[in-house]
Amino acid sequence: MTFNKDFDKFKIEDNLYPQSQMLLEDETDLILVKPNELTKTYGYLISSIFNNLIVVDTLEEALQHDSKWKAIVENDKFFSETLFVEMIIKNQKLNSAVSTKHIHLLNNQQSLDNCEVDTSLEKLATLDVPPCKDITSFSIKEIVSPWVNNLFAFNTEVYKNPFPKIENKKFDHYVMVASGWLWGWLLTANKWDPKKEYLTLFDISGTNLLHIENIIAKWSPWDQTFTDFMLGNTLAKEILIYSGWIEGGDEVKAREHLNDLWKQEMIRWASLNDSQDPEVGWDLFCEFFRKLQYASHEGKLSYVNANIISDSFLVKKLSTLTKGRAFWFISNIFTSYASRMWSAGSKDNELVWYETFKKKLNKDDVIFGRWPYYENRVIKMAKNVDVI
């Protein structure tokens, strides 16, 4: 099987993706040279993984810009997150600027005069990039309603336990974005009791919520592996194919791919018991899943299809209905490509949206995730795990 490079981000061992992505987010500016409307729109789409988005008229301006690291795009070439991560990795291995001829990545000590040109990187430029046949329709879909039909079957975040940072770990309600399985891992980390504590899963993506509902209602992990269910359940398989997680034509490859992703997930779950054994993770997951199905059966589980960035009224209504103390897991929603698209690259706007969201919650609620914040009056991104 030829492994899709875009899925390397989910691996546990020999995974340089997280540290490379952090370097992009913390120190690298995305610089577009005289972009057309589509290139600029793609820039907004991907800018959440960069420190800043800058538009200039010439390559000379781009090279002279005061940035610790520069990712420069010329001639309206396609680009993707995976492409830039791989260019960062190659740059650091070679300690020299890297270029595809039209896209360049270098730090402020490097020059394009003696850079490493690797045109093979161009094959990564369209990975996980939504196609555009018409700029108007594309902009409406990606800017007004991004994520609406997306599936986040697995998380790319590092699994970190926030609860040791919280003095009072008792919650009456967990309100969590239904992305991947990190929300379940967090519930397990804090010994969630579905007999006493409510769970609400929210998402802007109705497809993602339908996927989770289907798994909870139809899967028995004691009788069937995750992969067998995903490929045997018609709805689950169709969603995976539609969202690009597997290809429908080769079940052998799809099975191998899903097995690999699930093994990585179980290793993450095993970390709750200081282990790297996926069988340990599987035991913990099955214990959690039994609780999840109990909560669903007893009416302690609810689903909310909402955009917490813009749906202030619904956030307030939800907060009012979560009586007692709530734990909110928001992942990276307020520093995501969707928020950056809506804000046209403005971190100031993202911060305003986050502060507006926070004001809608109850005073004793806890928020876990990433968000824009002020440091010495300069907007930066919260890269580390943060709990309020």
Summarised one tens digit per residue, pLDDT across range 282-302 is 999 999 999 999 999 999 999
- Mark which of 95, 116, 144 sits at the end of a domain: 144
Which residue segment(s) compose the domain that 118 sits in?
Answer: 5-144
Distance from C-alpha of 106 to C-alpha of 372, rounded to nearest angstrom: 26
69-73: strand order across its sheet:
52-56, 28-33, 69-73, 103-107, 98-99, 116-117
- Mean per-residue pLDDT, 300-310: 92
Q: Using an 8 Å Cβ cutoff, are 121 and 83 in contact?
A: yes
What's the confidence (pLDDT) of residue 381?
39
| DSSP category for residue 8 | G
| DSSP category for residue 235 | H
Burial class (CB in 10 A: 0-12, 13-18, 19+), 190: middle
**200: enclosing H helix or E strand:** strand 198-203
Q: Between 15 and 18, name the one with better pLDDT.
A: 18
250 and 192: one domain? Answer: yes
Summarised one tens digit per residue, pLDDT across range 331-376 is 888 877 777 777 766 777 888 888 888 889 988 899 998 877 654 3
| pLDDT higher than 70, residue 5 | no
Q: Between 374 and 196, name the one with better pLDDT.
A: 196
Q: What percent of the chain has pLDDT over 90?
A: 56
In a domain? residue 187: yes
- Mean per-residue pLDDT, 159-164: 90
What's the confidence (pLDDT) of residue 385?
39
Q: Using an 8 Å Cβ cutoff, are 41 and 333 in contact?
A: no
| pLDDT higher than 80, residue 6 | no
Summarised one tens digit per residue, pLDDT across range 36-69 is 999 988 888 888 788 888 999 999 999 999 999 9
| pLDDT higher than 60, residue 83 | yes
192 and 333: one domain? Answer: yes
| pLDDT higher than 60, residue 160 | yes
352 and 298: one domain? Answer: yes
**CB count in 10 Å sphere of residue 282:** 19
In a domain? residue 150: no
In a domain? residue 155: no
In a domain? residue 154: no
In a domain? residue 13: yes
Q: Which of 22-26, 242-246, 261-265 has the highest mean pLDDT?
A: 261-265
**Strand pairing report for 372-375 and 378-381:** antiparallel
234 to each of 77, 114, 212, how far by Cα in Å?
Answer: 38, 53, 14
Distance from C-alpha of 354 to C-alpha of 334, rounded to nearest angstrom: 6
What's the confidence (pLDDT) of residue 19?
77
In a domain? residue 104: yes
170 and 139: one domain? Answer: no
Instruction: Give the predicted TM-score (pTM) of the model.
Output: 0.78
184 and 249: one domain? Answer: yes
198-203: strand order across its sheet:
301-305, 198-203, 173-177, 326-331, 366-369, 386-387
- Mean per-residue pLDDT, 21-34: 90
359 and 252: one domain? Answer: yes
- Mark which of 111, 144, 177 sits at the end of a domain: 144
Distance from C-alpha of 30 to C-alpha of 50, rounded to nearest angstrom: 6
- Mean per-residue pLDDT, 255-267: 93
108 and 179: one domain? Answer: no
Task: For residue 249, give both structure tokens.
Answer: 């034509």
Least confident of 222-226, 252-256, 317-321, 384-388: 384-388
133 and 244: one domain? Answer: no
Distance from C-alpha of 82 to C-alpha of 62, rounded to nearest angstrom: 22
| pLDDT higher than 90, residue 218 | yes
| Mean pLDDT computed over every residue of the chain | 87
9: confidence class by pLDDT, cuts 50, 70, 90 = low
| pLDDT higher than 50, residue 2 | no
Task: For residue 147, give both structure tokens.
Answer: 């994520």
